[in-house]
């Protein structure tokens, strides 16, 4: 059984009406997304800014309320839970945020930050047990337990992100959603955090939904990669298969934009025309057709392509992907 199964998930936000527009419009941040995630697996999630990656991650852990659809975690629909039932299940799934400083309360010491989660879920075991558990968590993420009485501003960005990871680990989850957890860090620190996440996954059997812009990082850490465009999943495949042989024109354009070290490389750069359409008024038919180099009038403008298998283990939402 899959650890996580997302079925037809939608997250729509009401847009403010204009001066001459009385009808309420909706921002379709996530629009009919479905996928699965196995225990111990890392699924990478990529796409342009504004495509709905972060909203999808937040909806899965119920920091943003889904509009429709199901989020089955260990077979239970957590999109329908509230109150004490939701709090009890939250032990099993946690989130690491993009900004390691903004995610930490500047008025709390590291010990209080980590101990708060232990207290809420009854895992502290008294003051001595709480202190011992905090020291264990700091050791697990490569920090000296002697730093537990310090405040967030006394740490570097990489150290703060390690504290964020320790907080996520405090309640012993099975799933962690990482919302671009290394994008705000220096390259050398990124490598350290990625190695730490992989070590923790191996030791604790964690599953990751890893949201990122950097395709090289995603390929390195992920078993499968999912690509989003305008709130929809447009391609899903094994990491190496997707990077080396992308089927969707949007994925091909993303990969062509990755810088190449070799100055003599002949790889063509695909320049997409226009801008990303508004999620308030997405195009009819295929959402990518106004910018797609292979779109055909008629079918692409009228028919929404289903996410279908175009090769073994490789799925794409394009009429001509095969």
| Residue 205 maps to a domain | yes
- Alpha helix stretches (DSSP H) within the chain: 53-60, 83-89, 110-120, 126-140, 157-169, 187-204, 215-221, 239-244, 249-256, 299-302
Range of the domain at 263: 4-106+173-186+201-316
Cα(256)–Cα(267) distance, integer angstroms: 7
122: left (phi over 0), alpha (psi -120 to 50) or beta: left
Do 294 and 320 touch, CB atoms closer than 8 A?
yes
Predicted confidence (pLDDT) per residue in 203-221, tens digit? 999 999 999 988 888 999 9
Can you tell me the distance from the alpha carbon of 31 to that of 193, in angstroms, rounded to the nearest whole number?
Answer: 31
- Torsion angle, alpha carbons of 99, 105, 108, 112, to 10: -80
Reduced DSSP (H G I as helix, E B as strand, rest coil) percent helix, strand, coil of the chain, to 5: 35, 20, 45
- Residue 156 inside a domain? The answer is no
| 3-state SS assignment for residue 147 | helix
* 78 occurs within a structural domain: yes
The rounded distance, in Å, linking the Cα atoms of 189 and 181 is 11
pLDDT of residue 258: 82
CA atoms within 13 A on the CB side of 135: 8
85: left (phi over 0), alpha (psi -120 to 50) or beta: alpha
Of the candidates 27, 14, 270, 58, the residue with the CA atom closest to the CA atom of residue 177: 58
**How many domains is the chain built from?**
1
* Residue 30 within any structural domain of the chain: yes
Any domain includes 127: no
Number of continuous H segments (helices) and E segments (strands) in the chain? 10, 12
Q: Phi, psi (5° rounding) for residue 304?
A: -75, 120
What's the angle, vertex CA 164, arms to CA 177 and CA 195, rounded to 5? 70
d(CA 234, CA 39): 23
What is the pLDDT at residue 297?
87
3-state secondary structure at position 290 = coil
Position 173 scores a pLDDT of 95
- Ranges of residues in the chain whose predicted pLDDT is under 70: 17-23, 263-264, 322
**φ, ψ for residue 256 (rounded to 5)?**
-65, -20
pTM above 0.85, yes or no: yes
Identify whether 125 is part of a domain: no
CATH number at 227 reads 3.40.50.300
Q: Is residue 149 situated within a structural domain?
A: no
Q: Report DSSP letters for 263-275, one per residue.
A: TT--PPP-PPPS-
pLDDT of 17: 60
| DSSP letter (8 states) at residue 195 | H
- Residue 308 is assigned to a structural domain of this protein: yes
- pLDDT confidence of residue 321: 86
């Amino acid at each position: 059984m899959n650890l996580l199964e997302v079925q037809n998930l939608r997250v729509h936000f009401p847009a403010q009406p204009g001066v001459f527009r009385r009808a309420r419009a909706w921002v379709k941040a996530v629009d009919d997304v479905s996928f699965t995630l196995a225990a111990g697996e890392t699924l990478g999630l990529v796409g342009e800014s504004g495509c709905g990656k972060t909203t999808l991650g937040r909806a899965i852990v119920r920091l943003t309320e889904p509009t429709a659809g199901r989020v089955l975690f260990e077979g239970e629909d957590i999109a329908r839970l509230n109150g004490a039932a939701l709090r009890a299940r939250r032990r099993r799934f946690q989130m690491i945020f993009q900004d390691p400083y903004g995610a930490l309360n500047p008025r709390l010491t590291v010990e209080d930050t980590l101990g708060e989660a232990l207290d809420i879920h009854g895992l502290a075991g008294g003051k001595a047990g709480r202190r011992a558990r905090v020291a264990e968590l700091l050791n697990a993420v490569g920090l000296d337990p002697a730093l537990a009485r310090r405040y967030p501003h006394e740490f570097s960005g990489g150290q703060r992100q390690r504290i964020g990871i320790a907080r996520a680990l405090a309640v012993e989850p099975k799933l962690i959603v990482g919302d671009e957890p290394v994008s705000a860090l220096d390259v050398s620190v990124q490598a350290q955090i990625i190695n730490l996440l992989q070590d923790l996954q191996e030791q604790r059997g964690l599953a990751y939904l890893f949201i990122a812009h950097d395709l090289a990082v995603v390929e390195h850490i992920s078993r499968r990669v999912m690509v989003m465009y305008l709130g929809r999943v447009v391609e899903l495949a094994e990491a190496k298969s997707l990077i080396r042989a992308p089927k969707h024109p949007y994925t091909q354009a993303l990969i062509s934009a990755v810088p190449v070290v070799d100055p003599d490389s002949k790889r063509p750069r695909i320049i997409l025309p226009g801008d990303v359409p508004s999620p308030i008024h997405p195009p009819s038919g295929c959402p990518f057709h106004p910018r797609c180099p292979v779109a055909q009038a008629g079918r692409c403008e009228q028919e929404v392509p289903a996410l279908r298998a175009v090769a073994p283990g490789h799925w794409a939402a394009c009429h001509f992907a095969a």
